[in-house]
Amino acid sequence: MDDAWQPSCSFELLRLRAQVLHDTRCFFAERAVLEVETPLLSSRIGTDPQLDFFTTAYRLPSLQQNLFLQTSPEFAMKRLLAAGSGSIYQICKAFRNGESGRFHNPEFTMLEWYRVGYALPQLMDEIDELLSLLFVGSGLGSTQRISYQAVFQQYTGLDALVFSYPEYCAYAFNNHIPDAISLCGYEHVLWLDFIFSHHVQPYLGANALCMVHDYPACQSSLARLNEHNSKVTERVELFINGIELGNGFYELTDAVEQDRRFNEEISVRQQRQLPVSIKDTRLIAALSAGLPDCSGIAIGMDRLLMLLSGSTAINEVLTFSVDNA
């Protein structure tokens, strides 16, 4: 008998997930952060060329249109913020086409929250508190906060903010990743993604939370540039045991700048002949009306459950992974 009907995860994991969701909701309830729901299906979609989305055909008589499954609830939540919702959070499904592997399932659970009036360091404090609560009893060590430039320097000796082609090549050559040279060429962003994911990230957050902040400006489309150093952005990434767990920003509130970045990404999509995305003009309108100063973060709950349960593959924490959904 084919046993593909069986769940991929154990019942113990089901209970762990329920507990984590419960604890998370209590955490935000105590802080008077409002739980919200926004649409998973939308007529607009993110422009990020690195994210592939699912497109569905909406059949309403006389109106034929595509609706997209959201790659994150970010745009809708920002429209709520601009409308005056105050601090909000959401636990929802997000969808990313073509992403499948040990740490990826094309449909996954995301916790996303926004804090009105918070700069990034305050949000990082709150992230630390939430994760300490969820990981209580797992013996997580003390949290480390380090800038991207410092951590990159520490593990590679390279300066992440200043691109030196010969130095990067020499590094690749001496560290058994010569294929990086032909793959990355003169593209600084690619080099950073390649080296960071191969030779930095695996060492981050050994049994502790590591928050990497001040990302190079070339690497974030929705974060603000740092007002003292335009080479870095107000972005933070979370790592535990080398696993990327979340990504947060001191949010960009400048509608003109946001529109410019969207257009730039749309032209990159055209050059690479990627599926056409529809710019979220309603987000731009919301930003024009005024997004309050805020910071926000998204955390992958399935990966968090992997870490909590010591699982080595994402399907061990999902009821049904994409392979047997």
Q: Is the Cβ of residue 136 or residue 170 nearer to other proteins in the bound state?
A: 170
Strands 88-95 and 243-250: unpaired
Q: Is 93 in the site for other proteins (CB under 8 A)?
A: no
Judged on CB neighbours under 10 Å (0-12, 13-18, 19+), 55 is middle
Q: Is 177 in the site for other proteins (CB under 8 A)?
A: yes
Q: Is 197 in the site for other proteins (CB under 8 A)?
A: yes
Which of 11, 32, 59, 101 contacts other proteins by CB under 8 A? 101
Which of 8, 70, 90, 220 contacts other proteins by CB under 8 A? 220
One-letter amino acid identity for 241?
N
Q: Is 102 in the site for other proteins (CB under 8 A)?
A: yes
Judged on CB neighbours under 10 Å (0-12, 13-18, 19+), 18 is exposed
Q: Is 24 in the site for other proteins (CB under 8 A)?
A: no
Residue 112 pairs with which residues in a beta bridge?
Answer: 90, 298
Q: Is the Cβ of residue 255 or residue 297 nearer to other proteins in the bound state?
A: 297
Q: Is the Cβ of residue 25 or residue 198 nearer to other proteins in the bound state?
A: 198
Q: Are 238 and 300 in contact (CB under 8 A)?
A: no
Q: Is the Cβ of residue 116 or residue 225 nearer to other proteins in the bound state?
A: 225
Q: Which of 93, 10, 105, 111 is nearest to 319 (CA)?
A: 10
- Would the CA dihedral through 291, 76, 71, 143 be positive or negative? positive
Which of 244, 259, 266, 268 contacts other proteins by CB under 8 A? 244
Q: Is 10 in the site for other proteins (CB under 8 A)?
A: no
CA distance 223 to 219: 9
Q: Is 276 in the site for other proteins (CB under 8 A)?
A: no
Q: b vs e for 120-146, b when ≥16 Cβ sit within 10 Å of the residue's Cβ?
A: beebbebbbebbeebbeeeebeebeeb
48, HSE (Cβ side, Cα atoms, 13 Å): 17
User: What phi and psi values does residue 84 have, to the nearest 5 degrees?
Assistant: 100, 25
Q: Are 205 and 220 in contact (CB under 8 A)?
A: no
Which of 180, 252, 286, 308 contacts other proteins by CB under 8 A? 180
Q: Is 269 in the site for other proteins (CB under 8 A)?
A: no
Q: Which helix (H) or strand (E) holds 18?
A: helix 11-30
Task: With contacts defined by CB under 8 A, name the span among 21-29, 31-39, 153-161, 216-224 that binds other proteins.
Answer: 216-224
State in angstroms the smallest separation of the CB of 104 from other proteins: 6
Q: Is 319 in the site for other proteins (CB under 8 A)?
A: no
Q: Is the Cβ of residue 4 or residue 32 nearer to other proteins in the bound state?
A: 4
State in angstroms the smallest separation of the CB of 246 from other proteins: 8
Which of 54, 113, 194, 250 contacts other proteins by CB under 8 A? 194
Which of 149, 247, 258, 295 contacts other proteins by CB under 8 A? 247
**Residues lying near other proteins in the complex (CB under 8 A):** 48, 50, 98-104, 177, 179-180, 183, 189-190, 192-194, 196-198, 201, 219-221, 237, 244, 246-247, 298, 300
